Structure 1
Amino acid sequence: MSDLRYWLTLSAVPSLGGFRIGKLLGRYTPAELCHMGSEELAGIGFKPAQIRALLHPQQARIDRCLQWSEMPDQTILSLADPRYPTLLKEIASPPPLLFVRGDPACLSFPQIAMVGSRSASLDGRESAYEFAAALVAADYVVTSGLALGIDGQAHQGALRNGGTTVAVLGSGLDKVYPAKHRELAALIAEQGALVSEFWPDEAPRPQNFPRRNRVISGLSVGVLVVEAAPKSGSLITARYALEQGREVFAIPGPIQRPGSRGCHALIKSGAKLVESPVDIFDEVGALTECAKNNQLDRRLPQPENEKLPFQALLATVGSEATPVDVVAERSGQPVHEVMMQLLDLELQGLVTAVPGGYIRSRRG
């Protein structure tokens, strides 16, 4: 029996959550657990229904999962897999298995989660798109939940600006929900990854989505709530983020708008008020470095002697938004030349256009 088959057998045991599995794996391997007898399993706390599931697994369903993982661009990651994202592994109850369609390596890149209302306002949708574009320009992966409204706009903002995005589903990857976003899901799998802790054939169920939300925050170095009602799944994600030691950010809005109230409540509770992407970058440095140090780097390293273009101008742009006229004054160049150079630098991913001017990206 393959290691992955043992993992699938263990993960199919009813009412055996990630926390309990984590404790068991501190003493036993999945193979050892699968080879124990009923008395031995009862002795370490397994209930009769769990023992039956472990001793008599649904082999046909497990076979279908293994066949699923053999298809192109489809992967199952166990907690023992070196590709399993390090930040997610550190949460209190990490999923024993992750089902991935797309590039599993991008799950280990520094990610900012973006969540918000399904019935978002036009302003909220535009903010989600613009922030996602700025985040991918600064070499962050944008992670969200594929829902209508803010989630969809965040994914679109990343995709249409050449970035990477990850969608965490509350269903199996063969049961994409909502159906309206199936085409978007296919694009995400090409330019990032779809990920779920649920087996590929599992339909969406209400109880799946809070579990989905803890994975969204667990993968990320910070969570940005764009627009949310006082009682919403977005605030559940923010709560998980705080429990996991992640930074929480919120965009304020008009006090008359119901979708602003959840963000305002978060800000009152200590979330950072965000007006531009620059407000995010300085707060997530430590976890970003942790993610970078543990990621599987898919990019070619730059030669040490490679010189960055327009170094004099680049030196005038920092981590805070710098207006074009200030860049021109500092560099001693005409505004029209500065604009051309900034455009060139932006196309190369060295600076990012944000409200109020330009910031230097991490690659720059």
Structure 2
Amino acid sequence: MDECPPESEQPLLDQIQLNLIHGVGPRIRQTLLEHFGTASQILKTPRQELLNVPGIGKKLADAICYRTAKSTAEDELKRCREFGYQILSEEADAYPSLLKEMPDPPSLLYCKGTLLPEDELAVAIVGSRKCTHYGLQQAEKIAGALARSGITVVSGLARGIDRAAHEGALKADGRTIAVMATGLSHIYPPEHQGLSEQVARQGALVTEFPLDQAPVAGLFPQRNRIISGLSMGVVLIEAGRKSGALHTARHAYEQGREVFAVPGRIDHPASAGCHDLIRDGAMLVRSVEDILEGLGPAKTPVLTAESREVHTPRELVLSEFERDILNLVTLEPLHLNEIVQSSNLDSSRILSTLTILEMRKVVKRLPGGFLVRATG
């Protein structure tokens, strides 16, 4: 006789079971939650009540009532634990807070690897699978520069720009997150199996789909909202006018994220979508500094690996000495003499570095010789 699961685990099992039912996507799930409150209550709801919910037909109502799925929640959770995967619900501490800001966040996040608090400081890089050598170069270069600045690089594990973005972050010994449109048991494309292992070691593979979900064309656009949702901004590199990466840009706009685009040759169709975005107001990217400048202040201070608070992403490209001088400046106005006297360093070096920090817009000069740390 099978043992009953612990009572504390039942809400998670009910969320897994609802997620396993074919036809319950993000919008249907949100509608059901608005009517019934929790996954547990949805699964207990009589068929006729389900049919009264807009968008719920007979077939889906039957699937929910009879819990029709290829596998059970218990099996799914057991397999994840055997493989060392996590299943994070929205209530879990490790569930990314940026995703909770979305109108349709994933109910569950399957994770291979580790999500860390510093991953809240993330930028997505997306673009065409069929890209040029120039596009690959720029994706790897920009991803590496972001990673060296302490920013996690998010992408979709696809061929082309996505792969170059992940590899750029990995080569810079930075963190990277791959958002998949399949289950963790189906790495797609299959030739990225080795890359996926590297990503899991230096970041995480994440997906909202059950373990056995195979590649289906319609799931890739759905996945794209998570790529933008995990990020403070999205950088597009070589997106043609029909590129799926443009879906990610649209999601980013809807979620209030910043959108950046790298220009290409004006006569090459591979960059036509990027040029359209720039014309319509996306920020043009010439270097990583443009991205850091465009992100503006982080919504909350984030601790870097050096345990220093970051108040604006522009601080991430500072040298170690510049950061040391910046930390002499506080959020409350201090007179220049007080700042110099608070350090044993040569005053001329402090003064020249403060001038550089002011030019970099991480320090503001106030009337009367006072300085204050910039937060925007």
TM-score tier, shorter chain, comes to 0.7 to 0.9
Post-superposition CA distance 1:253-300 (Å, at most 9, x none) = 1112221211111100110011010101122234x334x56xxx7968
Count of residues paired in the alignment? 313
What corresponds to 1:327 in structure 2? none
Partner of 2:93: 82
Does residue 9 (structure 1) correspond to residue 17 (structure 2)? The answer is yes
Question: Which residue of 153, 161, 178 maps to 1:150?
Answer: 161
Kept after mapping to 1: 8 A contact 2:232/2:295:
yes
Q: Alpha-carbon deviations, 1:6-42, whole Å to 9, x = none?
A: 0012223343332342343345222222223333434
Query: How do 1:170-209 and structure 2 match up within 5 A?
Result: 170-209=181-220
Residue 217 of structure 2 is aligned to residue 237 of structure 1: no
How much identity, in percent, do the aligned residues show? 38
Tell me how far 1:315 sits from its aligned partner.
Answer: 4.6
- Contact preservation (8 Å) 1:135, 1:142: yes
Q: Which of these residues, 228, 246, 254, is aligned with residue 217 of structure 1?
A: 228
Give, as a single letter, the amino acid of the residue that structure 2 aligns with 1:200.
L
Q: Which residue of 1 aligns with 2:27?
A: 19
Q: Does 1:47 align with 2:44?
A: no
The 1-side partners of 2:307 and 2:139 are apart by 31
Gaps in structure 1 of 5+ consecutive residues: 317-329, 333-364
Q: How far apart in 1 are the matches of 2:319 and 2:131?
A: 41
The structure with more radius of gyration: 2
Q: Which has the higher contact order (CA 8 A, sep 6+)?
A: 1
> What is the match of residue 44 of structure 2?
35
Q: What is the TM-score with the length of structure 1 in the denominator? A: 0.78
Distance in 1 (alpha carbons) for counterparts of 2:98 and 2:110: 17
Bigger mean CA offset, 66-75 vs 161-170: 66-75
SS at match of 2:105: coil
Q: Does 1:60 align with 2:68?
A: no
Following superposition, the deviation at residue 309 of structure 1 comes to 9.5
Equivalent-residue separation in structure 1 for 2:97 and 2:320 (angstroms) = 37
User: Contact conserved, 2:119 with 2:152, CA < 8 A, in 1?
Assistant: no
CA-atom RMSD in angstroms: 3.0
Is contact 2:86–2:111 with CA below 8 Å preserved after alignment?
Answer: yes
Matched AA of 1:139: G
Q: Is the Cα contact below 8 Å between 1:19 and 1:92 reproduced in 2?
A: no
Q: 1:132 to 1:204 in 2, by over 3 A?
A: same
1:159 aligns with 2:159: no
Q: Give, in whole Å, the separation in 1 of the partners of 2:189 and 2:70.
A: 30
Q: Distance in 1 between matches of 2:273 and 2:15?
A: 39
Which of 243, 247, 255 is the matching residue for 2:266? 255
Alignment of 1:286-297 (within 5 A): 286=297, 288-290=298-300
- TM-score, normalized by length of structure 2? 0.75
Partner of 1:361: none
SS of the residue 1:112 aligns to: strand
